[in-house]
Every structure is written in structure tokens, then in C-alpha cells.
Amino acid sequence: MKPIVISGSGLYTPPEVITNDELVASYNQYADNYNQQHAAAIAAGHTEALAMSSVEFIEKASGIKQRHVICKQGMLDPQVMMPLIKPRADDELSLQAQMGVSAAKEALANADCQAGDIDLVIVACAYTQRAYPAIAIEIQQHLGCQGMAYDMQVACSSATFAIANARAAIMAGLAHKVLVINPEICTPQINLRDRDSHFIFGDVATALVIEPAQERGRQRPLIIESLKLVTDYSSNIRSNFGLINRCDPDTEHSANNLFSQQGRKVFKELLPMIHQHLAQQLQETQLSAFDFKRFWLHQANINMNLFVAKKLLADKVTPDLCPVVLDKYANTASAGSIIALHLYRDDFQSDDLGLLCSFGAGYSIGSVILRAL
């Protein structure tokens, strides 16, 4: 059987941007309003005053400088602090499908592949905007793909786990050409009133074409050489939003339904797991970290990326070896490492090695070793 490759990648970047300056001004106005409204209780020690945010705090904590968003309206209003996204009619293309279609078209063009050649569409992301019909089936119909389609969720590892599913489907004869799409609309789940997390997420869509190797395409195909996936339950990164929330009017709009994390515990528990996971994969494939031209790491936090990179490479970490995109895109859940792959792969020559790695809620870790054809 021919090697199975990533033959094309695509990226859709929303045009609207929110800078750290804008986000901080909005949050600090909210915090100031709150502190004034509760001044008596704060003075009496019954209520804790909200601390102010700052650009310096955000960049030190995360490395994020800005984020692209699908809807800026409402997010910076201290009285609203959420994106005001209008619903679309059932016969209109959904917002998530629209983003996914844009990324998919670029991936298909880069793979020199027609939508009608695709016989499996996988939409893999942290959140989907509805339960059913699947966003993947909507995209399948809109593009004119064949075969089957489904949605799947593994939080920040959705993309790497979907690559594994695509490869397995091809190897099993269930599909021949697969489109993996990651339309990440994360901003509706941010609690913009929480200083520790109001800056974390952005919105984006990425896409990959996965198929047996062909002598064509605008991008050099990347052979999927090795896959390693693992999950281990933890509540330290959590989002409780779901259909059952509406069944209790008292908590339907609770902040507890939005994204939350216990950052210190995540660092302490997840980072050693990532290093152990990657070390085992390198041992299993008889490779050294120094054999790789590039590491496309999950783009959640600059400090996590540096920890992982330095564990693997000691003092040899460079921006070229471990490119960062979260400064411009923020955390885009499963799409982050795919953005890095899409933007930093053009210089690959035959037999160059790259490692794509995701990690996050679950806990989940997915790593893919890729070799340029």
C-alpha cells in the first residue's frame, strides 16, 4: 500500500482582531464597575475585590498578543462581554460550516484534489455549534463530497485524533481520501469576566487532506510515519456547557458553564505526561529529537511550549525549530498546531522530519511524526 500522507493544508483566519490593549481596557472597566458597586461589602471583608488585568500580565502568562475572532461585537462591551452572534436560518450555511468550507477549499487546492474525490469528511474540534445534523455532513453536502461524514470532539487534541481516524479509515478500506476540518469557534466559551482566562482563546479554522501518496499537489506531501495517542481523565480544564444546562433555570447562565482551568495543576500534571509521551514515541521509532527539522506544537501557552521543547532539545530551541503562532492567534484549541504546520512547512525537502503534537483537556495528548515525501 502507498504511504498515507497529508497532501494539503488550509487555513481560514477571521478578519476581526482583538488586541490585548482592547481586552484589558474592557475587563478593567468591568472590574472597576464591579468594585464600585460592591464597595461596602469589599470594605467589610465580605466580598473580594476584582484584581485588574494588564497587557504585561497576559503576555507573561501566555505569550498571547492578540486574537482573531469570528464576532467582535459585544465582546468588549463591559455590559455584555460575549460575542453577539445572530442565529442563521436552518436553510443557511452555519457559521462553523462556513469557516470550515473556507479552510477546506484551500486544503483541496493545495492537494490538487477535487471535493468530489473526498469520501470521508471529519469535523474535529473542541466545540460544535449544534448537536445534529453533523457540521461535517453539512460541509460534505455544500462541497459536494461523497461517502460519509461525522463530527468528533477530543478538545485540544481533536485534530491529531482525527488524523489517526482518517489514516485508520484509509488503511481499513473505508475511505480513500479524507478531509479533516477543525473549525474552532472558542470565543463564546470564554468567561471574559475572569481575569485569569479572559485572554486565552481566539477563533480560526484549519483543514487537511489525507490520502495515499500521489505525485501531484502544491505542497510537498508529508508521510504519516507514526501516531501516538493517550487520554487520562482530569477536571482541571473544563467546560460544562451542554444541553442539560437549560434544565435548571437557576444555573442556566452560570459562569460555571464556561471554560475554566486550574492552571497550576495543569502545568504540574500535564507537562510531565507530555514529555514522557514524546520520549516513548521517539524511543519506539528509534529517533532522536535532534533528527527533526520542526516541531509543530500545540499553541496554548508559550510557557508550556518552551517547557516541552527544552525537555526535548535542551538549549537548542529556536523559533525556526519550534515556531509560535499563538502570539497572533491565541489558543485556538485543536487548530493551533495545524496553523503552525500550515504556515511553517514550505521549506521541507524530501525525508525532512517534523513532529505535530497536541495536548490539553481530557487530559489528551496526540503526536504525529511526519516525513516529507
pLDDT along the chain (373 residues), means of 10: 95 98 98 97 96 97 97 98 96 98 98 97 96 97 98 97 98 98 97 96 98 90 98 93 86 85 90 94 97 96 92 90 97 98 97 97 97 97
Q: Give dist(CA 28, CA 14) in Å, integer.
A: 26
How far, in Å, CA of 234 to CA of 156, rounded?
14
Distance between CA atoms of residues 135 and 182, nearest Å: 11
Is 156 noted as a catalytic residue in this protein?
yes
Q: Is the pTM of this model over 0.75?
A: yes
**Set of cell numbers at residue 191:** 468567561
In the chain, where do the E strands start and end? Answer: 4-12, 16-19, 66-69, 120-124, 148-152, 178-185, 203-212, 222-231, 237-238, 260-261, 294-297, 353-360, 364-372
How confident is the model at residue 253, as a pLDDT? 81
The active-site residue, picked from 113, 125, 145, 156, is 156
